[in-house]
Amino acid sequence: MTEKPPTIYDVARAAGVAASTVSRAFARPGRVNFETAERIRRVAAELGYRVNPLARGLPTGRTSMIGLVVSDIGNPFYTEIIRGAQDAAAEAGYTMLLTDARESGRREREALERAVTTVDGIVLATSRMPDAAIRGIAKQRPVVVLNRAVTDVPSVVTDNPDGVRRAVDHLAELGHIGITYLAGPEASWADGMRWRSLRDALPGSRRLGPYSPDVSGGGEAAADFARAPTSAVVAYNDAMAIGLIRQLTAMGARVPGDVSVVSFDNIEAAALVTPALTTVAAPLHAMGRAGAGNVLAIVNGAVPRTTGPLVLPSRLVVRASTAQRRRNRTSPAWGTTNVPGDGGASGEIDAGSR
């Protein structure tokens, strides 16, 4: 099944040169006579030779692989980040070792433990590990952190304050005054940034949470929100907004009629749900690309910037979850009568167990 692939020695013999010449022909063409190189390439192609990156990695200590760790591969937030990173890696001739930490700091640690010796550099997209742990692995290999600022570790983040400002401006234009912030994970750097930015932009803002940053978390938030609703909500991310809207709707509220909702990320589903979400989009692809690009630059000798994170711009995508504030009602007609504990999940029947 597995035939032994040819080595530089096989090529050398067939081409009538030394193995070291074959090595050079592939590793640093230009350091070998053009015609010789040409011949070597031809012979190599005939033999089906391909450099063995592992063997190359032993003497050089470089593997031409970089690692990318995401906290949840099922989270659409990472899709474009992954692609951006992969683009940058591929262009530089690098292979990307993609790992799913599945929202577990332990898993992330273990995966990193494994990968750290195998890769030349590492991109951490939304790490769930404490800063100290990140600095620890940054001692072993160049590391770039995404969506988070870690002292002494190069990082790339989106302009959260600016994103919040755009959201607030948009809501203000629609006549909204009071805003409720639905908080995500306390460990999330972005969550802190967003809440602080919102409070700065609109001092009267209120904060609810933290909630789990997914659809169910948003649903849970609805009950709390209903006790003292505002006409506008800013949610930590799109998934939470979706859950919130579903639950509010189940409770009799109308979105955006009664409540306008803005969230963050602009995942694909944001455009698919009803109402489609108004959301602060992050330059995901650019972020992945910048992360991989920077780590590659450092691998190749660049001096990492220490003047704080690289900040990428955000933009507001206006869809259907925000609307003009209704001024002719002071207290909501909804939510005061029934607050169901969980009406979010539409009855799912597993017909397979019949």
Whole-angstrom distance, CA of residue 182 vs CA of residue 210 = 7
Structure tokens at 95: 């292979």
Would you call 65 helix, strand, or coil by DSSP? strand
Burial of 291: CB neighbours in 10 Å, binned 0-12, 13-18, 19+: buried
DSSP 8-state class, residue 181: E
Q: Which of 193, 241 has the CB closer to its own copies? A: 241
347 binds its own copies (CB under 8 A): yes
Q: What is the largest CA-CA distance in the chain?
A: 90
Whole-angstrom distance, CA of residue 230 vs CA of residue 250 = 18
Whole-angstrom distance, CA of residue 319 vs CA of residue 325 = 15
Residues in the chain: 354
Contact set with DNA (CB under 7 A): 4, 7-9, 16-21, 23-24, 26-28, 31-33, 36-37, 49, 51-52, 55-56, 58-61
Indicate which single residue of 185, 213, 217, 275 sits in contact with its own copies (rule: CB under 8 A): 275
Whole-angstrom distance, CA of residue 132 vs CA of residue 287 = 23
Would you call 169 helix, strand, or coil by DSSP? helix
Instruction: Spell out, one character per residue from 202 to 241, where the chain touches its own copies: x when CB under 8 A holds, - when not.
Output: -------------x--------------------------
336 binds, among DNA, its own copies, none (CB under 5 to 8 A by kind): none
300 binds, among DNA, its own copies, none (CB under 5 to 8 A by kind): none
Residues in 144-163 that interact with its own copies by CB under 8 A: none
166 binds, among DNA, its own copies, none (CB under 5 to 8 A by kind): its own copies
151 binds, among DNA, its own copies, none (CB under 5 to 8 A by kind): none
Distance in Å, CB of 10 to its own copies, minimum: 15
Q: Which of 36, 302 has the CB closer to its own copies? A: 302
Indicate which single residue of 148, 166, 194, 289 sits in contact with its own copies (rule: CB under 8 A): 166
Q: Which of 205, 314 has the CB closer to its own copies? A: 314
Instruction: Spell out, one character per residue from 10 to 29, where the chain touches its own copies: x when CB under 8 A holds, - when not.
Output: --------------------
Q: Are 184 and 75 in contact (CB under 8 A)?
A: no
Stretch that binds its own copies, among 175-183, 193-201, 220-228, 341-349 (CB under 8 A): 341-349
118 binds, among its own copies, DNA, none (CB under 5 to 8 A by kind): its own copies
Q: Which of 136, 175 has the CB closer to its own copies? A: 136
Stretch that binds its own copies, among 37-45, 68-76, 250-258, 327-335 (CB under 8 A): 68-76
152 binds, among its own copies, DNA, none (CB under 5 to 8 A by kind): none
Strand partners, 278: 262
Q: Are 180 and 170 in contact (CB under 8 A)?
A: no
20 binds, among DNA, its own copies, none (CB under 5 to 8 A by kind): DNA
Whole-angstrom distance, CA of residue 281 vs CA of residue 315 = 5
Per DSSP, the residues of 188-226 read -HHHHHHHHHHHHHSTT-EEE----SSHHHHHHHHHHHH
**Distances from the Cα of 243 to the Cαs of 159, 169, 235, 354, in angstroms?**
25, 24, 10, 30
Instruction: Spell out, one character per residue from 94 to 133, where the chain touches its own copies: x when CB under 8 A holds, - when not.
Output: -xxxxxx-x-------xx-xxx-xx---------------
Q: Which of 149, 312 has the CB closer to its own copies? A: 312
221 binds, among DNA, its own copies, none (CB under 5 to 8 A by kind): none
**Residue environment code for 26-65, b if the CB has 16+ CB neighbours within 10 A, otherwise e:** beeeeebeeebbebbbebbeebebeeeeeeeeeeeebbbb
